Amino acid sequence: MFEDLLGGINDLLWGYVLIAVLIGLGLIFTILTRFAQFTYIPEMFRVLFDKRTISAKGKKGTSAFQAFTISTASRVGTGNLAGVASAIAAGGPGAVFWMWVIALLGGATSFIESTLAQVYKVPDKNQYRGGPAYYIEKGLKKRWLGIVFAVIITFTYGLVFNSVQSNTIRLAFEESFGINPGWAAVILTILTALVIFGGLRSIARVTQFIIPIMAILYVLLALYILAANYAAIPEMFQLIFLNAFGLREIAGGGFGAAIMMGIKRGLFSNEAGMGSAPNAAATAEVTHPVKQGLIQTLGVFIDTLVICSATALIILTTEGYAGSSLQGIQITQSAFETQIGPWASVFVAVAIFLFAYSSILGNYYYGETNIQFIKSSKTALTIYRVAVLLMVIFGAMQTFDLVWSMADLSMAIMALINLYAIAMLSKVAYMALQDYRRQKKQGKDPVFYRDHLEGVSGMEYWGRDQTSYKEGGK
């Protein structure tokens, strides 16, 4: 009964509201930034390894690379392996195309929100804090709405999304090792507790180590499978496009399912516009807000266009998604096992454990920084940490459909608030981009000060006496 109610509300929000807003704003941001998410791809890689910000040692924030790995820790996880599988199972192969669409347009949305996070970030002891709650308060002058967002993102990421992660780990280990859900819950909860009580730098150290290694290993294995099935790849792309636009799907109602599931799972995976990644983007020590906007856009592309696409093509080559009794990650495990043997299912189980575990840590931080926005309280933080651990246990013990329905609903509410905020503040991000372009044309490595944005108020940082970088640096 409860699951049916959640499903009905989700169909209303996703079918008639959020999809139109996501695609519409993505198009507007793409045009107004002059297709920055495409034209600046080489610059994205350059600033990711910017020598002036590669290390945050001796500075307040994390390095640009660490901020990238924190946000990627949340992006790269169940969405890439389990989310893709569930999208294809429910929406057909055409859902993959709509995942690509929301990533390509979402790149511009991600650029706007992450640039705003840097513009309005605030210094806090030995780090920076920022994100939608902060730019809503300081840019829109609506602290009440910032508090509403802070509560929702804390609930969505710290609690609901972490139940999705633990549920996926449980399903994977149940499929490969037959591990009892109770034991899976206990082990995962202990491992989570060991890190979240260590704070942001502990999270950064763990994610900086886990994400690059596991992402590379997973992509290499996926590429190996695709290379072994190279003759089938054109057929798989044809299948995706035909199902995305085919008359048969439109007549049968599958067209709408493909769009809804593709965009739902695409947003869950790459988070562009949801308002989550800006929390990580704000922590970075960079010389210009646009640099972190570009880095987070790169994260969207890597997540969906590379990792999700690899997973989707492998699943489609096996056709195991059609009429299967398996759920989510189990479909992906079955596809890998079909291609290269039983050991591949074990590899996917280990990979999803590390991806989902790192996502739990990244998700936890999003809640922590928003609790600090509402009120700096050790008691509130301790209660939140306990609640996170309880939801990890809850997710591991619940059904697949329940945890994903909860995630879809809370994600939709959070995204709508953030999309409203960045639409209202997008002019600030455009001005920052214009400043960046101006300095690049002058042959400079762009450096930002708040007086560069004439008429914009609410910035607590970026004063000429606060930054350690000088204009005109190379």
Domains in the chain: ranges and CATH: 2-442 (1.20.1740)
Tell me how crowded residue 386 is: count the other CB atoms within 10 A of its CB. 11
Name the residue with tokens 């890998």.
336
pLDDT score of 54: 47
Please state, in angstroms and rounded to a whole number, the distance separating the CA atoms of residues 202 and 179: 29
User: Is the Cβ–Cβ distance between 146 and 130 less than 8 Å?
Assistant: no
pLDDT score of 56: 45
**Closest to 292 measured CA to CA, from 109, 116, 437:** 116
pLDDT score of 165: 85
Low-confidence residues in the chain, pLDDT < 50:
54-58, 247, 251-252, 473-474
Alpha-helical (H) ranges within 178-276 are: 181-196, 200-228, 233-245, 247-252, 254-270
**Closest to 105 measured CA to CA, from 208, 31, 4:** 31
Tell me how crowded residue 409 is: count the other CB atoms within 10 A of its CB. 19
Please state, in angstroms and rounded to a whole number, the distance separating the CA atoms of residues 172 and 345: 8
**pTM of the predicted model, to two decimals?**
0.85
pLDDT score of 252: 46
**Closest to 284 measured CA to CA, from 382, 209, 213, 208:** 208
Structure token pair of residue 382 = 């301790």
3-class SS of residue 470:
coil
Segment (H or E) for 413: helix 400-441
Structure token pair of residue 164 = 């999705």
Structure token pair of residue 274 = 């949801």
| 62 phi and psi angles, rounded to 5 deg | -80, 165
List the beta bridge partners of residue 122: 129
User: Is the Cβ–Cβ distance between 115 and 37 less than 8 Å?
Assistant: no
Please state, in angstroms and rounded to a whole number, the distance separating the CA atoms of residues 92 and 238: 13
Structure token pair of residue 9 = 């509300």
Structure token pair of residue 127 = 């780090």
Distances in whole angstroms, Cα of residue 274 to Cα of each of 184, 269, 377, 445:
29, 10, 26, 30
Please state, in angstroms and rounded to a whole number, the distance separating the CA atoms of residues 285 and 292: 9
pLDDT score of 305: 87
Please state, in angstroms and rounded to a whole number, the distance separating the CA atoms of residues 79 and 377: 32
